[in-house]
Every structure is written in structure tokens, then in C-alpha cells.
């Protein structure tokens, strides 16, 4: 660090001590995420921008020169003219207008070398901002394979910025890129990047930029000798009105079957592991409160959540693969009309599909929808999509109450019920969206304009890294929120202890018992016992907590711990009608405080989370009520 102000460019030594700040800008699908990973490796920090919930990804690297470089990944965009909150962040960060953000010293514009037209216009826009820029000509491997000839010197001269060919997924060209960034920073040092004179371009100006981009493209790039023909051929099938839809349904169905049956062996292994651990620890500890806390509270609680990690990883494997292959945009194309019919934007498919994993990233992904109303509708229905936190609850109840039978020769009945629950969430989300549009607003929807990227063979390392990252995020939640909830539940259901000479299980006398008994009258008409009511309270923290809660409630109540026992324990205590009502409840209930919190942050008002809580609770109660009474009438008592 320097103790003098570095006012003159001559004091390069002082400037070098300060970390260099770099921002990544680029079109969607240009490989920006891969580039960010290539640059920063695992030294990444994911947070949110102050005041808004756009994900802020920052990472660090040390350049060959020894200088620290801080890389900021910005949301993908086609233009600096911001139309969604994401793009506002990109624009303001580049312009240095973002409160609490140091403006970047250098902007790296990530370009897909095989698809330069639009990014050249973006690069021209960036150049007009006046900050030093470097163009990363990414996917240069694909360009070479296609025999695409790019005159990088010419490109560099025309754009008056350095151009570096890169393969982000293989880290090729990354060192050169960093060196160019440093050179640009050194050149600009002392020039004093003042406030930028950028303003929104008019339609005429965009046309002019287009012409300029077109001219540069003609001058510097010769069309590929072996253009990609796969994309056209695959689209012929995958976007076919009949075949394409069937394939889409098959892909989705395969995903659910894989999640449900594919993860089984690993899950059994994890269950056995935690049982063993509980046993070993139980032998080491003396009887009493501590042993109970560790075995029944901590180990059983964490175990019953960790066990679902395989399913979550498989689900994310599918989502990330579909995204990286380029199929996600096709699915959005195929589903646009259905989504549009429900008053949703075609792009809403992506947040909603993410909501299958978790409503929180899903709700955050609604920022890709420009129009506020379309966004709010999507946010309101996103928690109806079956998130992975419901999987533990569904799995538990289904395996305890639905016989393991095969129907129509190949399909497992359990898998079918599971699929039915997913479908119920999806259909109700579409219905609610339709109603929201009718009640809250009637207006024109946002335009639906989406680039369909070329198909790519996904990079296994890239996929593995992203899947692991998701798993890690889930585990962190499991490790923090859920563990503390487990201990709280253990506490609630153990304290105060059973008075001497009292009859019945100890939990009857605990705090949890009291709460459960208190809300039981409200839930009795839908067939919920007080134990079920107890499970709903901690289930507010996160849906999967309900499983741990049931485990704690029932293991404290009698038969001893263990995930395996829980199912049969439930089967003994609940009627089939109650179990089905519980499932129906979980399709709709807003059993997730984090979701409500994120909605509050995204919409910046308590109005929407309150509306969400009210309508979801009402739906859950109605669905459970109907399910319970229909099941009773059919003899499921």
C-alpha cells in the first residue's frame, strides 16, 4: 500500500499495489460463467448487490506479474440499455454508477467467436463508455473446428481494443487475456476515467451501431467453411410440433424417475452410515440429556436431510446439463404458448424450472423477465413448483403409505404418485398465474424474444463443478438452518420432561406437544393429528425440516430413532386419508420462511409475501380438506 496519493502515472508501483478491478460483460451463452470460473478458480464469493437481489459474483486471481485482480461477473446482456433489474446492474457497474461498487478499471467483453454479430454491437457500446476494454474471443476451439477465419488484428484495430482468443472451459488463452487486461490498465492509469457520458441509444443510433458492427464483421470474419449443421438437424426433431413435445415430456419424466429411483442405492448407503454413527456415538456416551441431544437431535436430524442430497444432485445434474447443452431455451420455446396461455412469459419457464429445485434461486431468476407484472406473477406461483425440499417429505410419506407395486408393466406406482404431485404443483401454478392475471392486471405481456443457442457438447468438468456447487449450497443450508432447527425441535419436544408418575409418551408434556395440541382443533378437519401439527411449525423454516421434525417427534415418542423406523412408525400412527391430506397440504403450503423473505426482498414490500402466504395457506387447507374427505369416503380411514 502506498501512503501517498497516486496522482501521476509515473507512480506505477503505487498503482500496482492496489488490486486491479475487472468486470465481465457479454451476451447470454457466450461462456461468461465458464470464463469467470477459468479466471478465478475456486476463489469466488457469491453474494447480493446492496439493496437488490441480483446475484453478485466476485472472484480473485493473482496475475503472472504478481498483481491481484478482482473479477466481477455481471449478468449477461445484449445491450447496456437496461430493461431488467439484472441489466440495470450490468449497466451501472460498467458505468461506475452502482452505489458501493468501485468502477472497474478494465471491462472484459466475452464474445462467442461463432456468433459475433450482436456482441460486436455491445463492444461498440462499451467502447463508447470510455473505459478500457478487452475482447475475449471465446469458444475459439469451436470456431476453428468450423473453419471460421477471424482476422483478430483487424478486429482489434476496428474496435480499438485488444482481442484475445480463449477457450474458457479449457482455460486456454486466459493468461494472455489477463496480461492484456493489465496492459490496458497500465495504459489508462492516470488518464482518470471520469463519469461516463453514456446515455441510452435511440433506435437510429442502434441501427448505426448495427451497420458499424456489420461492416467490422464483414472486414474481419470469413464465414465458416464447415458451419455447424447439427443445430439445424437437431432442431428439426427437438422443435417438431409432435416429436419435440413428446421428447420434452420424456425428458421431464425421465428426470423425475431418475431422481426417484436412481438415487436409491446411495441413499440407502447414507442412511446406513448415519444409523451406524448414531449407534457408535450412543455407545460412547452415557445415558442422559447429552446422548439424547446428539443421537436423537443432531445425528438423526442431519442424517435425515443429508440422505436426500443424491436426489438433489441428480435433479441439478439434469437442469445444468439441459442448460449447457442448449436445450433449456428450446424447452422455453415449446412451452411458451402454454405459459402464455396462463399469463406467464415464455422466459418464466426458466425460473419455474429452477423452482423445481428450490423456489429461492427460481424467484431470483425471475429477474430475467423484464416486465414487472410478468415477474410478480412468476414470483407468486414459483413456490407452487415442487421444490427439492418437498422431496424428503413426499418420499417419506409415499414410501410409508403407497405400496411398492408396478403398474402397466414398467412404471412404479410410487414413482407415479410422485409424478402426480409434481404435476399438481405445475398445474396449480398455471391456474394461479391465470387467476392472478385476471384479478390483478390485464395488460399486454412483455415481448418474448430469445436467442436459441447452438447445441454444444457439455464440458464434463464444467457440469461437475456446477452440480457440486449446488450440492454444497444445499448442504450449507442443511448444516446451518436445519441443524439449528433440529436442535430446537429436540429441545421443544424434550423440555419440559415427563413429570414423575405421568402416563403416555414424554412429548405429550413438552412444549412441542403443547403447541401441537393448541393448533390441533384448526387442523383436525383436514385429518391432521397433533404430531403432524407439530411437524408443520418447524417445517416453516424449510420444508425438509418437517421430516426431521417427524423423526424427532416420533423417536422421542417411542420406538427409538432411525430413518427406517420413521416410515413404519408413521404407517402405524396415520390413516391413509391423513397421509394423503398431508401430501396435498405440502403441494400448496407456504412452508418456507426463506421463500417469503426472498419475495419480500425481490418485491421490496411486505405486500406480496403476505398475499403469497395467505393464498397458499388457503389452497393448502382446501386441498388437504378435500383430499382427506374424499379419501375417507373411499375407505381410506
Partner 1 sequence: MRRLADIDPPHETALEPLASLADGRRGFSGVIAELQDRPAAGGLAAGELERRLLEMGFVEGARVEILHEGFIGRDPICVRLDDMRVALRRRDARGVLVRPDPVRPGPAR
Ligand X SMILES: Nc1nc2c(ncn2[C@@H]2O[C@H](COP(=O)(O)OP(=O)(O)O)[C@@H](O)[C@H]2O)c(=O)[nH]1
Q: Does 627 bind ligand X (CB under 6 A)?
A: no
Q: Does 637 bind partner 1 (CB under 8 A)?
A: no
Helix, strand or coil, per DSSP, at residue 10: coil
Q: Is 40 within 8 Å of 71 (Cβ atoms)?
A: yes
CB atoms inside a 10 Å sphere around CB 408: 7
Comparison of 176 and 231: residue with beta carbon closer to partner 1: 231
Of residues 16, 80, 137, 142, which one binds ligand X by CB under 6 A? 142
CB atoms inside a 10 Å sphere around CB 240: 13
The torsion defined by the Cα of 51, 605, 339 and 456, in degrees rounded to 10, comes to 10
Q: Of these partners, partner 1, ligand X, none, which one is at the site of residue 337 (CB under 5 to 8 Å by kind)?
A: partner 1
Dihedral sign of CA atoms 316, 322, 325, 329 in order: negative
Continuous H helices in 189-326: 203-220, 230-238, 243-257, 264-284, 289-292, 300-306, 309-325
Q: Does 168 bind ligand X (CB under 6 A)?
A: yes
Closest CA relative to residue 185, chosen from 142, 118, 134, 261: 134
Comparison of 127 and 456: residue with beta carbon closer to ligand X: 456
**Residue list 298-337, contact with ligand X (CB under 6 A):** 324
Whole-angstrom distance, CA of residue 466 vs CA of residue 458? 12
Of residues 21, 32, 131, 390, which one binds ligand X by CB under 6 A? 32
Q: Least separation, in Å, of the C-beta of 214 and partner 1?
A: 8
> How many of the chain's residues bind partner 1 (CB under 8 A)?
47
Distance of CA 245 to the CA centre of its chain: 25
Q: Of these partners, partner 1, ligand X, none, which one is at the site of residue 372 (CB under 5 to 8 Å by kind)?
A: none
Q: Does 235 bind ligand X (CB under 6 A)?
A: no
For residue 541, what is its C-alpha cell? 423454516
CB atoms inside a 10 Å sphere around CB 331: 21
Whole-angstrom distance, CA of residue 210 vs CA of residue 320? 33
Of residues 167, 213, 397, 624, which one binds ligand X by CB under 6 A? 167
Q: Which residue is nearest to ligand X (CB)?
A: 31
Q: Least separation, in Å, of the C-beta of 328 and partner 1?
A: 12
Q: Does 11 bind partner 1 (CB under 8 A)?
A: no
CB under 6 A: which stretch of 17-25, 86-94, 451-459, 615-623 binds ligand X?
Answer: 451-459
For residue 390, what is its C-alpha cell? 418437498
Of residues 11, 67, 83, 600, which one binds partner 1 by CB under 8 A? 83
Q: Does 73 bind partner 1 (CB under 8 A)?
A: no
DSSP states of 569-611: HHHHHS-HHHHHHHHHHHHH----HHHHHHHHHHHTSSHHHHH
Q: Does 462 bind ligand X (CB under 6 A)?
A: yes
Of residues 9, 19, 28, 340, which one binds ligand X by CB under 6 A? 28
Q: Does 544 bind ligand X (CB under 6 A)?
A: no
Comparison of 278 and 462: residue with beta carbon closer to ligand X: 462
Task: List the x/- string, 333-352, binding to partner 1 by CB under 8 A.
Answer: xx-xxx-xx----x------
Of residues 44, 53, 60, 115, which one binds partner 1 by CB under 8 A? 115
Q: Does 242 bind partner 1 (CB under 8 A)?
A: yes
Closest CA relative to residue 581, chosen from 616, 512, 532: 532
Q: Does 139 bind ligand X (CB under 6 A)?
A: yes
Q: Least separation, in Å, of the C-beta of 169 and ligand X?
A: 4
Whole-angstrom distance, CA of residue 188 vs CA of residue 191? 5
Give the number of C-alpha atoms closer than 13 A to the C-alpha of residue 333, restricted to the C-beta side: 17
Q: Least separation, in Å, of the C-beta of 84 and partner 1?
A: 11
Of residues 55, 58, 141, 212, which one binds ligand X by CB under 6 A? 141
**Residue list 418-477, contact with partner 1 (CB under 8 A):** 443-452, 454
Q: Least separation, in Å, of the C-beta of 41 and ligand X?
A: 15
DSSP states of 168-197: GGGTBTHHHHHHHHHHHHHHHTTT---S--
Q: Is 603 within 8 Å of 630 (Cβ atoms)?
A: no
Comparison of 139 and 612: residue with beta carbon closer to ligand X: 139
Whole-angstrom distance, CA of residue 478 vs CA of residue 524? 31
CB under 6 A: which stretch of 214-222, 373-381, 453-461, 528-536 binds ligand X?
Answer: 453-461
Q: Does 203 bind partner 1 (CB under 8 A)?
A: yes
Whole-angstrom distance, CA of residue 287 vs CA of residue 57? 48
Q: Note the residues at the interface with partner 1 (CB under 8 A).
A: 78-79, 81, 83, 115, 117-118, 121, 202-203, 206-207, 210, 214, 223, 227, 231-232, 235, 239-242, 244-245, 329, 332-334, 336-338, 340-341, 346, 371, 443-452, 454
Q: Note the residues at the interface with ligand X (CB under 6 A).
A: 26, 28-34, 76, 138-139, 141-142, 167-169, 324, 456, 458-459, 462
Amino acid at each position: 500500500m502506498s501512503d501517498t496519493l497516486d496522482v501521476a502515472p509515473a507512480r506505477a508501483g503505487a498503482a500496482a499495489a492496489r488490486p486491479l478491478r475487472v468486470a465481465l460483460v457479454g451476451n447470454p451463452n457466450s461462456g461468461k460463467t465458464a470464463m469467470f470460473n477459468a479466471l478465478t478458480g475456486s476463489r469466488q464469493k457469491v453474494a447480493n448487490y446492496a439493496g437488490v437481489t441480483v446475484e453478485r459474483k466476485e472472484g480473485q486471481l493473482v496475475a503472472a506479474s504478481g498483481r491481484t485482480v478482482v473479477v466481477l461477473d455481471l449478468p449477461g446482456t445484449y445491450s447496456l440499455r437496461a430493461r431488467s433489474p439484472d441489466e440495470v446492474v450490468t449497466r451501472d457497474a460498467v458505468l461506475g454508477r452502482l452505489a458501493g461498487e468501485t468502477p472497474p478499471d478494465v471491462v472484459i467483453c466475452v464474445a462467442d467467436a461463432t456468433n459475433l454479430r450482436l456482441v460486436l454491437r455491445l463492444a461498440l457500446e462499451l467502447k463508447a463508455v470510455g473505459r478500457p476494454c478487452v475482447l475475449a474471443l471465446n469458444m475459439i476451439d469451436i470456431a476453428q473446428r468450423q473453419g471460421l477465419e477471424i482476422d483478430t488484428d483487424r478486429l482489434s484495430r476496428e474496435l480499438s481494443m485488444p482481442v484475445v482468443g480463449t477457450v474458457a472451459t479449457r482455460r486456454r488463452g486466459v493468461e494472455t487475456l489477463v496480461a492484456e487486461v493489465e496492459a490496458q490498465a497500465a495504459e489508462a492509469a492516470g488518464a482518470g476515467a471520469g463519469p461516463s457520458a453514456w446515455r441510452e441509444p435511440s433506435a437510429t443510433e442502434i441501427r448505426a451501431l448495427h451497420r458499424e458492427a456489420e461492416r467490422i464483421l464483414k472486414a474481419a470474419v470469413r464465414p465458416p467453411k464447415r458451419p455447424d449443421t447439427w443445430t439445424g438437424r437437431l432442431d428439426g426433431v427437438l422443435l417438431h410440433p409432435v416429436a419435440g413435445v413428446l421428447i420434452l415430456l420424456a425428458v421431464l419424466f425421465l428426470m423425475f424417475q431418475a431422481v426417484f429411483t436412481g438415487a436409491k442405492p446411495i441413499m440407502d448407503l447414507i442412511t446406513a452410515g448415519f444409523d451406524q454413527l448414531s449407534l457408535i456415538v450412543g455407545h460412547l456416551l452415557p445415558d442422559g440429556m447429552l446422548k439424547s441431544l446428539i443421537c436423537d437431535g443432531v445425528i438423526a436430524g442431519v442424517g435425515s436431510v443429508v440422505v436426500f442430497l443424491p436426489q438433489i444432485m441428480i435433479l441439478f445434474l439434469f437442469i445444468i446439463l439441459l442448460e449447457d447443452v442448449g436445450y433449456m431455451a428450446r424447452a422455453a420455446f415449446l412451452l411458451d404458448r402454454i405459459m402464455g396461455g396462463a399469463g406467464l412469459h415464455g422466459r418464466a419457464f426458466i425460473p419455474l424450472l429452477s423452482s423445481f429445485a428450490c423456489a429461492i434461486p427460481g424467484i431470483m431468476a425471475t429477474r430475467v423477465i423484464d416486465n414487472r407484472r410478468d415477474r410478480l406473477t412468476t414470483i407468486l406461483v414459483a413456490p407452487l413448483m415442487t421444490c427439492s425440499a418437498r422431496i424428503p417429505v413426499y418420499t417419506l410419506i409415499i414410501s410409508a403409505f403407497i405400496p411398492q407395486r408396478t403398474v402397466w408393466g414398467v412404471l412404479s406406482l410410487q414413482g407415479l404418485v410422485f409424478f402426480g404431485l409434481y404435476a399438481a404443483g405445475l398445474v396449480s401454478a398455471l391456474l394461479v398465474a391465470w387467476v392472478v392475471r385476471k384479478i390483478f392486471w390485464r395488460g399486454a405481456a412483455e415481448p418474448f424474444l430469445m436467442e436459441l443457442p447452438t447445441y454444444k457438447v457439455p464440458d464434463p468438468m464444467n457440469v461437475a463443478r456446477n452440480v457440486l456447487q449446488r450440492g454444497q449450497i444445499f448442504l450449507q443450508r442443511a448444516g446451518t438452518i436445519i441443524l439449528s432447527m433440529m436442535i430446537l425441535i429436540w429441545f421443544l419436544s424434550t423440555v419440559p420432561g415427563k413429570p414423575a408418575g405421568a402416563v403416555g409418551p414424554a412429548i405429550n408434556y413438552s412444549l412441542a406437544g403443547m403447541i401441537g395440541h393448541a393448533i390441533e382443533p384448526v387442523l383436525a378437519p383436514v385429518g391432521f393429528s397433533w404430531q403432524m401439527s407439530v411437524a408443520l411449525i418447524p417445517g416453516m423454516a424449510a420444508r425438509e425440516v418437517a421430516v426431521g421434525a417427524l423423526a424427532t417427534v416420533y423417536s422421542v415418542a417411542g420406538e427409538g430413532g432411525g430413518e427406517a423406523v420413521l416410515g413404519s412408525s408413521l404407517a402405524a400412527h396415520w390413516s391413509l386419508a391423513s397421509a394423503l391430506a398431508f401430501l396435498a397440504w405440502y403441494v400448496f403450503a407456504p412452508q418456507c420462511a426463506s421463500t417469503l423473505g426472498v419475495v419480500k426482498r425481490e418485491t421490496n414490500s411486505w405486500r406480496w409475501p403476505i398475499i403469497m402466504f395467505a393464498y397458499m395457506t388457503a389452497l393448502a387447507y382446501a386441498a388437504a380438506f378435500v383430499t382427506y374427505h374424499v379419501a375417507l369416503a373411499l375407505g381410506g380411514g
